[in-house]
Structure 1
Amino acid sequence: MVYIKYSLVFLLCAASVALATLAQIKQQLSFVSSNSTNWGNLLNAFDTSGESEAVAIDILIAGQSLSESLALAAELTIANGVLSADDGTDLANIIMLCILDFLQFLDLLVEEKDLFIATPLGVTIQGFILSDLRNLNATSLAFADAYIGVSSSASFVTEAEQIRRELVSVLGAALAAYGD
């Protein structure tokens, strides 16, 4: 009887962790979205700012924060395990909002490369951005792979694979622009 009681407690705890983890994924994706928006706003402000070096450093820090939030989202997604169709739909909607802005901001980063290089710290900033892009490449693809791995629906897998291909293309162009 004691064995059954403790087993039941363990199962209830395990189930609540899985539910909490799904909530954590959603919360982490909101951090990804916020970090992506912050990064994009800084990119948009760069050419009109009088303090280009300070803004460039802020962009680098924002890129690191975005990369870290993507890495944690990937870890949480894997820890949660296979998603139900409803949970997969919820996450797919959140991911689509995040990814569209992220891809747009990567294009902007490539467009503004000459502005970064023109600053007195141009070569250093280019190196920092290249480092951030490498980190973003690794973490965004890790998240895409995690989402593909836990998707229970073939349509989600197809959609996630398409997003991954877009990420590879846009991140590849950004990495090439900054010298990788």
Structure 2
Amino acid sequence: MKNQTRRRIGRDISIRSFCSERQQSFGREVRHAAAETALITRLSFKLLRYLGVGYIWMTKFLALGCYAMLLMPGFLQVAYYYFFSSQVRRSIVYGDQPRNRLDLYLPINNAGLKPVVVFITGGAWIIGYKAWGSLLGLQLAEKDFIVACIDYRNFPQGTISDMVKDTSQGISFVLNNIAEYGGDPN
């Protein structure tokens, strides 16, 4: 019995020492990461100065970084909603091409037929993605609308006629199938 007590006490001490070592190790890692970040930042400024980039451009770049950091909480909130909300039905296939998918944003109240908004993102036919409509989908779903965000082939995956065909096919799919999700096809 005495040996078991000694082992238990020894084990408790080793667990406590392990936890304190782990906390110290974490603290060391944080200090090391901060020091490395400061060094890289300082060296980056020196390199930019040697390359002829003036302080005005560096301050504008820092201002842009601060602006992005201020917007980050909003982006994270919308991304969390997009990936984890039960109201979002992502990547519903409407055609045979890889980008022929759409997202549906459904209202919480599912009683009765709901009005439907079809959103096709812009981007000069070069860029664009269905998830870009997630904030619109969130806002309109709160107002009891169903929002369908259609994705389509962009350049160079397709020509303009392919893009028009994809969007027309997506709209037809929504009109023909939205009743399954509680939407009014009229």
TM-score w.r.t. structure 2 length? 0.30
More helix by percentage: 1
Larger Rg: 2
More strand by share: 2
Q: TM-score w.r.t. structure 1 length?
A: 0.31
Greater relative contact order structure (CA < 8 Å, 6+ sep): 1
